[in-house]
Amino acid sequence: MTNTFQPADAALPPLPALRRARPGWVYLVGAGPGSSDLLTLRGWGLLHSATVVVADALVDPHLLDQCQARLIDAGKRAGDHGMAQREIEALLVELAQAGEAVVRLKGGDPFVLGRGSEEVQALAAAGIPCEVVPGITSAIAGPQLAGIAVTHRGIADAFCVVSGHSRDGQACASLPWFHEQTTVVVLMGVASRAQWVPRLVTLGYPADLPMAWVTWAGRQQQRVLRTTVRDCLKDFDNAELHSPSVAVIGAVAALGESMGDPREAL
């Protein structure tokens, strides 16, 4: 039977009215995992109607190319913490009290290892109205943009996101015990990798368990390294990778190799 289906000629429905930023408000906007076109429509409307944007370091600079707002760089980078968290919170309060329409632009999602909830608490304590706009977290999108699904039927039915940021010398203190059906994603784990990777074996992770590093996910310079728990430190150094990199630990890291790089279709 011949398929006679033809696409409809009707025009696409109009886009929803974009949300506009209001004076005296602060909007915590998740910028997504890299590429500027992964920002939500709501985030786009707020970004381009704000009078001030307080941006994180990992935000795609292309997002700000045509932005008319005053830009404030509040980014924290490896070895350079920039503005302290309490300084950022005080700045947001000050700007809103001065009548600015403020977008706090944060990489990924504001509430996934982004300290967004701390900023919401500080704003609430000061009586500042605030709205949170979700973003696509790199914990899911980073692996996905490398062709790695954090869950896959019959291979992984759960995933866990862990911060690799070392606090008081306890990098990845929340690493779970190994379970063959659980994928572990480590964010901000490059600087502390020599601390937490050796702990994997003590927690029952097999030395030959697949692992992957995804560097600059969603950007043109994205790189993907597929390795194992045993070899991941050596392979990372040999590949001369760096931050920002997402680590993916589990059987799905090998499965992703057969799926290819979704960016090749762009």
All domains in the chain, ordered by first residue: 26-133 (3.40.1010.10), 138-261 (3.30.950.10)
Q: Which of 76, 83, 235, 259 is catalytic?
A: 76
- Give the per-residue pLDDT at 240: 94
Which of the following is catalytic: 60, 106, 188, 211?
Answer: 188
Determine whether 106 is an active site residue.
no
7-54 residue pLDDT tens:
555 565 666 788 899 999 999 999 998 788 899 999 999 999 999 999
Between CA 197 and CA 232 the distance in angstroms is 8
Average pLDDT over residues 75-81: 60
Catalytic annotation on 56? yes
Dihedrals phi, psi of 106, to nearest 5 degrees: -120, 140
Q: What is the pLDDT of residue 83?
A: 86
Give the rounded distance of the alpha carbon of 194 from its chain centre: 22
- pLDDT single digits (tens) 84-93: 999 999 999 9
In this prediction, residue 58 carries a pLDDT of: 84
Question: What is the pLDDT at residue 218?
Answer: 85
Residue 265 has pLDDT above 60, yes or no: no
pLDDT band for position 1 (50/70/90)?
very low
Q: What is the pLDDT of residues 236-245, one digit of tens each?
A: 999 999 999 9
Angle at 62 between CA 60 and CA 63, to 5 degrees: 75
Alpha helices in the chain, H assignment, sequence order: 41-47, 85-97, 116-125, 138-145, 193-202, 232-238, 252-259
